Amino acid sequence: MGRVVRLALAILILLFCSAETIHADDNRINRIVFVVDKSHSMNYQDSEKYIYEMMNMFIDSFKSTDTEIGFVAYNDTIIKSYPLAQINSDSEREHIKNNLIEISRRGSTDIGLALKEGINLLNADTEYNNIMILFSDGATDLTLSNTGRSMEDSLNDENYAYSKASEINCKIYTIGISSDGTLDSNYLAKIADNTGGKKFDISSRNNILSAFNEIMLNITGTEFVSLESKNEIKIPIENDYIDEVNILVYGNNVDITTETENVSISKSNIYSNLKIVNPNTSSIDLKINGNESFDVEVIKYTSVIPIIEDVGVKESFKNFVDIKGYFVNGKDGSKITDKDFYKDLKAELIVISDDLDVVDKFEMTNTGDYFVYNYENNMPNNTKLQMVVSNTNFENLESNIKRSEVKNLNLGNNIPYKLEDKEIRVLKSKRTKTLNLSDYFIDIDGDSLSYTLLKGDGIPNLELSEDTMKMTPSALQVYDLEVEIDDGRGGVINESLQVSVLSFWQYYRNHLVTILVIFIILIMLYLLLLNRLSEFKVTSIIPEEKNLIVTRRKNGNIFPLFNTAMFYGVRFEGYFLSTKSGLEVPILNWSASLLNNRNSISLGELFSILDVAEKLPEAYKIIFTAGSNGTILFHHSTNCKVSFGIKHIQPNKKEVLNTGDNIYILFEDGASEIQIKFKQVGKAIRVSNY
């Protein structure tokens, strides 16, 4: 269970740890100086040369693109000072290793001198993550030294190193090597404590791996994850942010094979390291063969960069501005929106002065795929902001804190202004009148405005409260006021106002005139409409065409406007040939007067007009419609059998009937049958309404 928990926490932090930690607008990389004791005593205190093994493990395991390494080899003098160099390639890493191992161990020990040289090698630069790792078997010993230096000289150099380390935020980790137990552990602990580092003791091979893992975690913020020691291992590559994988196999005489591309392998007496840069695969498969037991650990470096999103010009003028921040993929610059990536992160928004001092801090809200803080733009100016992000599971690690570039944000403010077309007009009254000043002034940024009366002599009972002005307009007079308007963010204006107290007629004159004009226009429109309507009449009904004609008379001429087909001068006769009831029904005669001025009627309505008692509900679905030129359009939507001559009329099919045509209908009851005859009355005449 402990291994599972450790693995889970490691995955969280490897997702977070950035290849580029931004500080003061520059990329902050790891600068590491090894300060290595080459005195004569190391020949027996470190006879197994664990110092070299441990240094090589560091050189092989640090991220190749974000690390510079140098070293100081010392005894009671500075034997060699190797300047900081990149470790991007195998050859660069091997060059550092070979330069160190070729130096023999001899002479006394002057740790103060070595610390001074190491701190100077870092160039007093605060823009990097500065680290020193001191290897020694004990304290300064100048008893047999012929350099002429005293213990006081060494102590002064040591204090100089502490002071410089504080200036450049350099931590010193001390690793004591002793095979006989004579190590001055307290002295090495003091050096580490004075700089915020930590002391480790190495007495055998068993201590190396745990000390190495802890130092790596503190320097990089990324933890080596222990894997099960098996002969075949599959290592997943979880996401696109992983740009380097280092696999450490800790053990003697181990043979490792893999088919993964772009793998470089480094071997020593006690470990093998596999480095894969930009792994283009979803997993790495290893086969490990060895005669002895071995441990397998993996460290995955990710390339993610925190940034603050640009704020639009319009947004930058608002009273409250949403400042958003998120991570981008260092490989392609794409925004990271994976909620699992953000879930254990917290962010602070830092307000920075021109000389990069922290002015204020605000906790940002983690929304799931970005951070946001609603920043109050109360004093608009060029504001420097930085987002600082940390992982909640490793808050105590300085190396785990990621800083965005400092963002120069030009926050602005639009001053309020007066609405020029607004005139303050009040009706004379002895009652208190309340005016809302927001009707006369506006702030386009949405700021709340405050008002201060600067001048208002002579106005009865004048009072300003928040955004309202109260007065008693008891006299017909024009008053001059001066008001200061403040948006609370540096936008202040002074404006003159004129308040006119008016009589009833003066106050409502414009309204009354408007109403009068509208009334006159309506009267004119009404008269015009009456005149036009007199030109329109139903002028005639032409029986022979069975149409209603609407015409317009103008200048003695008649112009047709529209016509509608209507029943006119037609009648129907009906003869029941049989009924279901067995009763005889007299001949049915629907005269023209019953049908005039209609354009459609059902057989059911015709039955109803003449009080036919037979129950034939489907008759209401049998329709006669006036057609053009005196015809009748017949259709039905029933199951009746309808015959027209020798033709059977199907449901929903129209049939044109002319004068004298007969249709036969056998109703749905199968017993009732009727004959309908279509006839015309007399000769068509034109009737005029003029």
Confidence check: pLDDT of 407 > 90: no
pLDDT for position 394: 55
Query: Would you say residue 517 lies in a domain?
Result: no
Phi, psi angle pair for 250, to nearest 5°: -95, 105
Average pLDDT, the chain: 83
Closest CA to 37 of 104, 179, 135, 144: 135
Closest CA to 93 of 121, 67, 73, 122: 67
What whole-number percentage of the chain has pLDDT above 70? Answer: 87
Confidence check: pLDDT of 623 > 90: yes
Query: Would you say residue 42 lies in a domain?
Result: yes
Q: What is the mean pLDDT of residues 311-318?
A: 80
**Domain of 607?**
565-680
Q: What is the mean pLDDT of residues 648-652?
A: 93
Quick: pLDDT tens for 26-53. Answer: 346 889 999 999 999 999 999 889 999 9
CA angle in degrees (0–180, nearest 5) for 477-483-488 = 155
pTM over 0.75: no
User: What is the Cα–Cα distance from 441 to 435, expressed in whole angstroms?
Assistant: 12
Q: Among 90-94, 414-418, 618-622, whose mean pLDDT is lowest?
A: 414-418
Q: What is the mean pLDDT of residues 665-684?
A: 82
Contact at 8 Å (CB) between 479 and 458?
A: yes
**DSSP 3-state of 184:** coil
**DSSP string for residues in 300-345:** EEE-EEEEEPP--TTGGGSSEEEEEEEEEETTT-PBP--HHHHTTE
Work out whether strand 171-177 and strand 199-202 pair parallel, antiparallel, or are unpaired.
parallel
Confidence check: pLDDT of 330 > 90: no
Query: Would you say residue 250 lies in a domain?
Result: no
366 with 431, same domain: the answer is no
User: What is the Cα–Cα distance from 602 to 583, expressed in whole angstroms?
Assistant: 23
72 with 156, same domain: the answer is yes
Quick: pLDDT tens for 269-306. Answer: 889 999 998 888 888 999 988 777 889 999 888 888 89
CA angle in degrees (0–180, nearest 5) for 497-501-503 = 155
Confidence check: pLDDT of 533 > 80: no
User: What is the Cα–Cα distance from 150 to 428, expressed in whole angstroms?
Assistant: 100
pLDDT for position 685: 31
pLDDT for position 124: 66
438 with 349, same domain: the answer is no
Quick: pLDDT tens for 663-672. Answer: 999 999 999 9
CATH at 83: 3.40.50.410
User: What is the Cα–Cα distance from 405 to 375, expressed in whole angstroms?
Assistant: 18
What whole-number percentage of the chain has pLDDT above 90? Answer: 36
445-449 own/partner pairs: CB under 8 Å, 24+ apart: 445/317, 445/318, 445/319, 445/413, 445/414, 445/487, 445/489, 446/318, 446/319, 447/319, 447/413, 447/416, 447/487, 447/488, 447/489, 447/491, 448/487, 448/488, 449/416, 449/485, 449/486, 449/487, 449/488
Query: Would you say residue 8 lies in a domain?
Result: no
84 with 219, same domain: the answer is yes
**DSSP 3-state of 197:** coil
Task: Decide which of 455, 486, 502 is a domain's last residue.
Answer: 502
546-551 own/partner pairs: CB under 8 Å, 24+ apart: 546/570, 546/626, 546/627, 546/628, 546/629, 546/630, 546/631, 547/628, 548/597
pLDDT for position 505: 81
CATH at 583: 2.60.200.20
CATH at 477: 2.60.40.10
pLDDT for position 186: 93
73 with 197, same domain: the answer is yes
374 with 472, same domain: the answer is no
Closest CA to 404 of 322, 336, 315, 328: 328
Task: Decide which of 223, 258, 285 is a domain's last residue.
Answer: 223
194 with 218, same domain: the answer is yes
Of the pLDDT bands very low, low, confident and very high (cuts 50, 70, 90), residue 688 is very low
Q: What is the mean pLDDT of residues 590-606?
A: 81
pLDDT for position 536: 52
Work out whether strand 407-410 and strand 417-418 pair parallel, antiparallel, or are unpaired.
unpaired
Q: Of the ranges 30-39, 136-145, 257-266, which is most confident?
A: 30-39
406 with 449, same domain: the answer is no
- Tokens 């990329």 belong to 27
Report how far Cα 537 is from the mean position of its chain's Cα atoms.
68
User: What is the Cα–Cα distance from 178 to 190, expressed in whole angstroms?
Assistant: 18
Closest CA to 198 of 179, 219, 180: 219
326 with 427, same domain: the answer is no
**DSSP string for residues in 127-152:** TSEEEEEEEESSS-B-TT--S---HH
User: What is the Cα–Cα distance from 113 to 8, expressed in whole angstroms?
Assistant: 44
382 with 441, same domain: the answer is no
Quick: pLDDT tens for 384-403. Answer: 899 998 877 655 455 567 78
197 with 310, same domain: the answer is no
User: What is the Cα–Cα distance from 33 to 37, expressed in whole angstroms?
Assistant: 13
User: What is the Cα–Cα distance from 30 to 91, expressed in whole angstroms?
Assistant: 19
Query: Would you say residue 269 lies in a domain?
Result: no
Q: What is the dihedral of CA 311, 392, 350, 377, to 10 degrees?
A: 50
Task: Decide which of 452, 474, 502 is a domain's last residue.
Answer: 502
Q: What is the mean pLDDT of residues 513-523?
A: 91
Number of domains in the chain: 4
CATH at 402: 2.60.40
Work out whether strand 295-302 and strand 171-177 pair parallel, antiparallel, or are unpaired.
unpaired
402 with 428, same domain: the answer is no
Contact at 8 Å (CB) between 304 and 16?
A: yes
Query: Would you say residue 198 lies in a domain?
Result: yes
Query: Would you say residue 183 lies in a domain?
Result: yes
Query: Would you say residue 113 lies in a domain?
Result: yes
